[in-house]
Chains A and B, each alone.
Chain A
């Protein structure tokens, strides 16, 4: 599925919904009703707008966001320098791995940047080996040595 890359024309209500849902979704029996109440709209309206925003790829996902390291797994940022004539082919080969959580093209000699997310630490070198075997290209690994505090929310 192609990822949306243009700005959407969002209604005021959609913006309020997106902003409200970037916070903590309640762990109650009827959570959408609770959020709809706070927004002053009907539960059905919230569910319909949320489904539409996901369908239109304004939201890429709605649900739990996982920190794989807290379950014993690993994240790794890595990159490839892909010859231009092979870019689509290599993109397909890299994306085929479930361990590839994100993959972006960027402007640099290192032009393909992806994040590996694996359930076990061994999963990372395994994924790297598979990518190198499939593409014939060396993987540049950029493990995080230190994470600095951040706090960002995007205003819709």
Chain B
């Protein structure tokens, strides 16, 4: 698993100042800079650097799936033959309706699944249709499956570093 270097002090303060969102003002980077004692150019240069390093995946809107009508949020889980999982996992990840796809450890006997694929849909029926497509990709390499629909969002704040901004 690739890890990165800890942030320098100025980048860390920039993360703290922006982790709850960008200001909704005409010149947001200038506003952040004023808060941190940096010029707008420096704020933008540092954000660009954090994007280039992958510390920031992107700057944009995080939609609430439910509000967009994607009310069925299905975490599908699969018990896949370990020797076939990496190849089949790639194929599942490429399916257009899969938003996240990971290999994770089993916790036997309660949890026999080692492949997790997140599938969003406008209804549970739609999601189940997508799951049938995943099952077809996995074929006989899959011994068991389940889907855990989310029924409540209990918290959704994203990353929050501690400390003063």
A interface residues, Cβ below 8 angstroms from B? 3-8, 10, 18, 21-25, 27-33, 43, 47, 50-51, 53-54, 56-72, 77, 81, 91, 94-95, 98-110, 112-114, 117, 119-121, 140-150, 152, 154-156
CB of B64 within 8 A of CB of A70, answer no
Least CB distance from A25 to B in Å reads 4
CB of B150 within 8 A of CB of A29, answer no
Q: Find B155's partner among A4, A23, A103 (CB 8 Å cutoff).
A: A103
CB of B158 within 8 A of CB of A66, answer yes
Q: Find B148's partner among A33, A64, A113, A121 (CB 8 Å cutoff).
A: A113
- Chief secondary structure at chain B's binding surface: mixed
Q: Does B84 contact A (CB under 8 A)?
A: no
CB of A5 within 8 A of CB of B66, answer yes
Residues of chain A contacted by B148 (CB below 8 angstroms): 106-108, 110, 113
- Knowing A66-B55, A143-B105, the reply to whether A72 touches B5 (Cβ < 8 A) is yes
Least CB distance from B128 to A in Å reads 14
Encoded as 1 (CB less than 8 Å from any A CB) or 0, chain B from 32 to 51 comes to 00000000100010011010
Q: Does B90 contact A (CB under 8 A)?
A: yes
Q: Does B13 contact A (CB under 8 A)?
A: no
CB of B153 within 8 A of CB of A148, answer no
Residues of chain A contacted by B3 (CB below 8 angstroms): 69-70, 72, 121
CB of A21 within 8 A of CB of B61, answer yes
CB of A148 within 8 A of CB of B102, answer yes
- Knowing A60-B62, A143-B104, A150-B100, the reply to whether A71 touches B55 (Cβ < 8 A) is yes
- Knowing A27-B29, A30-B27, A108-B146, the reply to whether A67 touches B103 (Cβ < 8 A) is no
